[in-house]
Amino acid sequence: MSAGIRDISGWIYGGMWSYCPEYPGADIQELPQPAFLPPDYPVYLQKFIIGGQTGTYIETRAHVDPKAEPVTALPLSQFLRPAVVINVGEKGPGRVISVADLEQAKPDIHPGDAVLLSTGWDKNWNEPYFIEGSPYIEHEAALWLIKREIGLLASDFPRFDNPSSMQFPWDAFWEHVNLLLAPVTNLDGLSGRCGMLAAFPLKIRGACSTPCRAALLLSKEDL
């Protein structure tokens, strides 16, 4: 059986979106030529100034609880899971993902699965309203997912909650799921069980959240 790899990470680039002024997007700078090298041996390197929630990132409860286990303390096996894509249809700015959306998709979810919500919002990755216009997950829809004992929740939109009226059950989420991956991209055409998700955090000591290169490892039947 042949296999394919679908990159579901979003691009990181200078001047990209960020959640707020306190959290940087990305500042990418060219570094100067090292002084110990002769001028006729040019080399090139960049410096990256980013935050833990830059681009596609993965995090744990440590984002809200400094006593919780950092994302980089978990075994790598936690970041390789069977994947289920729930396509809830195109969602415009500020639209909600409801229980009805989830039930209509009839997802085959097993305990420990990585569940990825697909709305098509990732096509706005480069737009100035990518964050502010994000769809979000209804309180009851979040509980619907948590009750199915998922092991990781991902989405192609950047905000699970509605910042103007916060209602996402974060305490239950961090207690029972604990792994958040967002925002991902490139879920078009996928639905149901979709091979394996791989989303490994950068190995940064003590990090509660890090950018990651997320991918779906698809079987021939998934392609």
1: confidence class by pLDDT, cuts 50, 70, 90: very low
Instruction: For residues 29 and 27, give the distance between their C-alpha atoms in angstroms, rounded to a whole number.
Output: 7
Quote the pLDDT of residue 223.
57
CA 152, CA 199: separation in Å to the nearest integer? 10
Structure confidence by residue, pLDDT tens digits, 146-201: 999 999 999 999 999 999 999 999 999 999 999 999 999 999 999 999 999 999 99
Q: How confident is the model at residue 3 (pLDDT cuts 50, 70, 90)?
A: low
Pick the CATH number of 3-7+52-219 from 3.40.50.410, 3.40.50.620, 3.40.50.2300, 3.50.30.50: 3.50.30.50
The yes-or-no verdict on residue 136 having pLDDT over 50 is: yes
Domain extents in the chain: 3-7+52-219
- Residue 24: what pLDDT? 87
To the nearest 10°, report the CA torsion of 79, 61, 129, 116.
Answer: 40
* Closest by Cα among 201, 157, 151, 206 to 176: 151
According to DSSP, the β-strands at 46-50 and 152-155 are: unpaired
- As a whole-number percent, the residues of the chain with pLDDT over 90 amount to 96
pTM above 0.85, yes or no: yes
The string of pLDDT tens digits covering residues 41-69 is 999 999 999 999 999 999 999 999 999 99
pLDDT above 50 (res 221)? yes
**Mean pLDDT confidence for 14-26:** 94
